[in-house]
Structure 1
Amino acid sequence: MDFSWITHYWPLLLKGAEQTIALLVISVSLGFCLAVVLALLQVMGPKPLAKFSSGYCTLLRGTPLLVQLWLLYYGVGSLLPMIPGIRHSFMWPVLREGFFFASVTFTLNYAAYEAVVLRAALLSVPKGEIEAGKAFGMSRWTLIRRVWLPRAIRIALPTIAGEVVLQLKATPLAFTVTVMDLYSVAYKIRQDTLLVYEPLILVAVFYVALSALIVKVFGRFERQLPVRR
C-alpha cells in the first residue's frame, strides 16, 4: 500500500470532503423542511394536496436517484441557457454548476423518503396527547408546532438518523455531474497515480467515520430529549 500521494493531494481531498459535507447538509436541512410540509399535507391536508404529496413521494421513491439527477442536470440544465436573460443574471454562476443540480436533486429525493417516515410518525403519536393539547385551548397550528410535530420527530429520530446516513452514501453520485466531491477527487488521484485501492480506501474510511459521527450525534440528542410516558 502506497499512501505517499496524500501529502500532494491533501488540499484537493479537503476540498472534496467539504463538497461532500455541503451536499449532505444542504439536502438534509432543506429536504427535512420540505418533508414536514409533505407529511402534514398527507395527514391533514385537503384531499387534492394530500394526493399530490403522496404521488410526489411515490414518484421520487420509485425512480433511481441517478436518473433524477441526470434528468435535472442534462434536461433542465440544457434548457436554462435558452431562457432570455438567464446567462446575464446574477444567478447564472450558480445555475451553471453541477453542484446546484445535485443539491436540488438530493433535496427533493430526501424529502420524499423523509415525508413517508414523518407521516408514519405523525399517525403514531398517541391521540391522548393531541386531545390534551386541544383541552388546553391550543389552536390547530399551535398544537402542531408544540405537541404533534415535536412528538412525531422524537418517535422518528432513530429512522431519521439512518436516512441521513443513507443520504451521505448517495452523495458520490454527484461525481457524474462534474461535482468535485471526495469520490471525484479519489477518481482523479487514481487517474494521476494509477493507484486503485488506496484512494478508495481513504474514501471508505471517511464515509465510515462520518456515518459513525452522525449516528453518535443523533444518539446523544435522542438521550437528551425528555422521555414521555
Structure 2
Amino acid sequence: MAKKKNITNSNIISFYMDYVLEHNEQPKTVYDLAKANNFEEQKFYEHFGSLESVEKHVFTEFFNNTITVLNKSGDYQSFDPRNKLLSFYFTFFENLTANRSYVKYALEHNKNNLKTLSQLKDLKHVFTSYIEYLEIDLIHIKQEQIDRIQQRGLKETAWLQLLLTMKFWMDDTSPRFEKTDIFIEKSVNTSFDVLDVAPLRRLIDFGKFIFKEKIQMN
C-alpha cells in the first residue's frame, strides 16, 4: 500500500491520540507512529520535532478549535469580557468532552497535580494570552510595575481557575456533565463579581472629591 503523502499537523495529532487510545500507551518512537498510520517518518518532522511536542500541542489544538468556533459567531464579538470568557469555557469543554477518553488518559495519573504537567505548558501560554486579550477591567494604579503585577496575578489566577475546572470535569459523572456547566457559570461569574471595580472606582472618585473640596475650603 502506498504511503500517505499529504500529512498535516492535525493528521499527526489525530494519529497520536488514536494510537494512545488503541494501545493504551504512547508510541515509543516516531517510527512506531508513522508505521501504524502508513506515512513516511520524515513527514512527521516537517511538523513536529518530537513526540513530546505533539503531546503538548494536543491541548493547544483544543484551544485553537475553540477560538475558531467562537470567532465564527457574530454575537461573540459583541460580548463583554465576562460573557466572552463564559463562551470560551463552554466551547472549550465541549472540545474536551468530544475527546474525553484521550484527555482522561493524558491527565488522570496526575489529576491532583495538573499544574506541574509539562504537557499543559503550551496551553497555559495561549490561554493566559487570551485572558490578556479580553482586557478585563482592573484598578489602574498608574504605576507601571504595580499594573504589571496586577495583570500577571490576573493571568495566574485565571489559569488556576481553568485547571480547577478541568479537574472538576474529569471527576464529573453527571449526565451531559451538567454539574461542570454549573461550576463554570458560578466560578466565572464569581470571579468577575470579585473583580468588579466600578464600586471601588466610585468610592475612589468620591474620596478625591471630598479631598479636593476640603483643600478648597481650607
* Greater C-alpha Rg: 2
Q: Which bracket does the TM-score occupy, shorter chain normalised?
A: 0.3 to 0.5
Q: Which has the higher contact order (CA 8 A, sep 6+)?
A: 1
TM-score, normalised via structure 1 length:
0.31
More helix by share: 1
